[in-house]
């Protein structure tokens, strides 16, 4: 038995089997439980270490698997990372039934997670770009329901994400040349430019993020939320792989300022757009872009914070997106619209669901006591130490995002008539969002709960983690 079979092969088979159950809640439960089980295995089961079962029997999980002359390698340092990915994926799978898309999200999502784990484990790691592309193709049926005409959002998603692969593959070839002749400035610039272009497409960096708000308007917010959590997270881990692998790239003098510029640009532009929206889905889309901007800022601070700021962001962002997109999905399913004028005074009908939506938005805007506050404030402080003007621009973006949250709050409490308070939404929907709200507060008040992650996860990147 090998580790890639457990964390890649088994979930891929499961992704096919999960199409079988006819009831959505069974699919969600099975998907959630199996993902949680895979996370627990990744956390507890050691790779390449003999485990003695009894006097005569021992068991050893090998780390690698050979495919077509190449290797898929999962080391013990990678396991916490995969535990985190499968753990967060299980949250999304459990919530998918309440969002009404379990029968599509769970099987496709399981396949996507398995392929992305493969992309992080394949050797040479540059082949990851090809596997990420395969994942993007699998995501299309998730983002474009069979009974709905494909909109502009899905077409742009497909184009932008597909254009990333050639740039990354080709830059990988150039990077090998840079390694052998590090003094060649021209080659170095060409490799860095191609790499930057590839990641700009993959991470939806300004101006390639137009598909996000369009998709949020066109399809289920929960499906888009899942993709907006999974793809940027794994792409950023892939980017960390580049930094870890190539010393010249790590020490490239312009890298922190380039990452900072891209991050600030995303936070400011998306923050301002978020403040001006009248569609709650589009607002969340722009907030997701702000999230990616903060992740880029966290990477720009690697020399000061190593990877702690980056990993500190992961869970609050995933939790916020999950709660926010679930709340939006519930509202869209029940009210049929996410436009401001159709949701006036809805807090009296959906108190818990709207509270989840508002708190997730406030958390993304770094309101104190909420999950987003500790990582964002740490990153903001780090940026201010390096370049004050950049920190001021980040402030503009965050203030704009906060304005969007206050506008949303103003709309949902603006009841046109004197209607009584109700508790609309199913029990499951209210419980899941209630639990989400609880954890948004817990992570905001006790950020030290995330400390084990900060100490263990960076080990996957030997040159960046210390």
Partner 1 sequence: MTLQIISWSVVFILFAASLSLLLTKDWRWALALLAIQYIGVFWLTQLHWTISMAAVKLVTGWMAATTLGITRSALDPKLATASERSWPEGRLFRILTAALIFIIVISGTSGIARLLPGIGLAEVAGSLTLMTMGLLLLGLTAQPLSVVIGLLTFLAGFEVLYAAVEASILVAALLALINLGLALVGSYLLTAGLEELGAQE
Residues that bind partner 1 (CB under 8 A): 67-70, 127, 130-131, 133-134, 137-138, 140-141, 144-150, 152, 154-155, 158-159, 162-163, 165-166, 169-170, 173, 190
**Shortest distance in whole angstroms from residue 149 CB to partner 1:** 3
Identity of the residue, 10 or 127, whose beta carbon is nearer to partner 1 in the bound complex: 127
Cβ–Cβ < 8 Å for 80, 49: no
Cβ 224 to partner 1 shortest distance, Å: 16
Say which DSSP state 68 is in: T
Residue listed under structure tokens 């690697």: 302
CB-CB contact of 6 with 61 (8 Å)? yes
Cα dist from 164 to 53, 153, 157, 376, whole Å: 47, 17, 11, 28
Query: Minimum distance from CB of 105 to partner 1 (Å)?
Result: 16
- CB closer to partner 1 out of 235 and 430: 235
Q: Could you tell me which of 3, 123, 4, 6 has the C-alpha nearest to residue 60?
A: 3
Spatial contact of 310 and 299, defined as CB atoms under 8 Å apart: yes
Closest to partner 1 by CB, 128 vs 456, is 128
Q: CB 204 → partner 1: shortest distance, Å?
A: 17
Torsion, Cα of 193, 196, 198, 202 (10° steps) = -170
CB of 296 to partner 1, least distance (A): 26
Q: CA 410 to CA 394: how far, in whole Å? A: 24
Residue 59 pairs in a beta bridge with 51
8 A C-beta contact, residue 4 and residue 131:
no
- Which one, 137 or 247, has the nearer CB to partner 1? 137
Q: Cβ closer to partner 1: 201 or 294?
A: 201
Closer by beta carbon to partner 1, 154 or else 433: 154
Name residue, tokens 């990153």: 379
Shortest Cβ distance from residue 100 to partner 1 (Å)? 18
């Amino acid at each position: 038995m090998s580790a890639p079979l457990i964390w890649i092969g088994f979930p891929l088979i499961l992704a096919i089997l999960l199409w079988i159950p006819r009831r959505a809640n069974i699919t969600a439960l099975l998907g959630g439980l199996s993902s949680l089980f895979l996370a627990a295995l990744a956390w507890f089961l050691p790779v390449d270490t003999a485990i003695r079962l009894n006097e005569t029997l021992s068991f050893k999980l090998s780390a690698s698997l050979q495919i077509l002359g190449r290797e898929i390698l999962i080391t013990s340092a990678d396991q916490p990372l995969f535990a985190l990915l499968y753990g967060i994926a299980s949250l999304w799978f459990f919530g998918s039934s309440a969002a009404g898309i379990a029968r599509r999200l769970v099987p496709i999502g399981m396949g996507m997670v398995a392929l992305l784990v493969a992309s992080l484990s394949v050797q040479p790691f540059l082949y990851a770009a090809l596997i990420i592309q395969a994942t993007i193709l699998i995501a299309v049926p998730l983002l474009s329901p069979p009974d709905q005409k494909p909109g502009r959002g899905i077409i742009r998603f497909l184009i932008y994400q597909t254009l990333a692969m050639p740039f990354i593959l080709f830059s990988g070839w150039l990077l090998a040349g840079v390694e052998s002749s590090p003094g060649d400035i021209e080659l170095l610039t060409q490799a860095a430019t191609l790499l930057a272009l590839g990641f700009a497409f993959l991470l939806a960096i300004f101006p390639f993020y137009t598909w996000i708000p369009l998709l949020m308007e066109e399809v289920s917010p929960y499906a888009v939320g899942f993709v907006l959590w999974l793809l940027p997270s794994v792409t950023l881990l892939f980017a960390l792989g580049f930094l870890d692998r190539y010393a010249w790239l790590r020490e490239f003098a312009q890298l922190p300022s380039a990452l900072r510029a891209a991050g600030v640009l995303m936070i400011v532009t998306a923050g301002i757009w978020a403040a001006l929206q009248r569609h709650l889905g589009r607002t969340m889309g722009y907030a997701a872009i702000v999230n990616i901007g903060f992740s880029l800022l966290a990477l720009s601070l690697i020399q000061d914070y190593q990877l702690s700021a980056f990993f500190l962001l992961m869970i609050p962002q995933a939790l916020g997106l999950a709660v926010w997109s679930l709340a939006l999905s519930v509202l869209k399913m029940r009210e049929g619209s996410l436009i401001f004028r159709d949701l006036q005074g809805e807090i009296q009908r959906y108190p818990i669901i709207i509270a989840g939506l508002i708190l997730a938005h406030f958390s993304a805007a770094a309101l104190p006591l909420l999950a987003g506050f500790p990582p964002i404030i740490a990153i903001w402080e780090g940026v201010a130490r390096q370049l004050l003007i950049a920190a001021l621009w980040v402030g503009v973006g965050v203030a704009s995002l906060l304005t969007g949250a206050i506008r949303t709050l103003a709309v949902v409490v603006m009841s046109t008539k004197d209607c009584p308070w109700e508790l609309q939404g199913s029990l499951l929907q209210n419980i899941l969002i209630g639990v989400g709200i609880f954890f948004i507060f817990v992570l905001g008040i006790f950020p030290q709960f995330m400390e084990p992650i900060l100490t263990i996860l960076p080990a996957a990147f030997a040159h960046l983690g210390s």
